[in-house]
């Protein structure tokens, strides 16, 4: 909700909350996911989360485990390079979940949060 508010996106649809997970009619919604994702302005991806309740690293203070160490030598700032973003996404828990494949396939835009 914080991300949507900061990006001035007035509506938020969360599949884990909007689809009754134990419903006998869940297949109806699952068959509509291509239309839902393709109609969305933006799909927010929690790529590093171990489950759908993990949250988005970096959105709230102290929620990001990865830090970028830096030092200053003779007035020059030197920082340790972070892992390449694409590689981080490829090996993320999100990329290994079968049900998230449709997010990537059908979404027009992805906003991906990683450590």
76 bridge partner residues: 73
Split into its structural domains, the chain has a count of 1
Task: Give the pLDDT of residue 22.
Answer: 82
Range of the domain at 101: 2-113
What pTM was computed for the model? Answer: 0.75
**CB 68, CB 82: distance < 8 Å:** yes
Angle of CA points 57, 62, 63, to nearest 5°: 20
Task: Give the pLDDT of residue 10.
Answer: 93
Taking the chain (115 residues) in runs of 10, the rounded mean pLDDT of each run is 93 82 83 90 88 78 72 88 84 86 92 88
Q: Would you put residue 100 in left (φ > 0), alpha (ψ -120 to 50) or beta?
A: alpha
- Report residue 64 as tokens: 């990001």
């Amino acid at each position: 909700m914080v991300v949507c508010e900061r990006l001035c996106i007035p509506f938020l649809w969360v599949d884990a909350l909007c689809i009754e997970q134990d419903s006998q009619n869940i297949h109806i919604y699952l068959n509509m996911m291509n239309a839902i994702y393709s109609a969305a302005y933006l799909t927010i991806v929690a790529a590093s989360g171990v489950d759908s309740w993990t949250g988005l690293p970096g959105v709230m203070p102290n929620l990001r485990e990865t830090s970028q160490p830096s030092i200053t030598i003779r007035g020059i700032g030197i920082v340790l390079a972070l892992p390449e973003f694409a590689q981080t996404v490829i090996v993320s828990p999100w990329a290994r979940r079968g049900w998230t494949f449709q997010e990537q396939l059908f979404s027009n835009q992805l906003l991906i949060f990683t450590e």
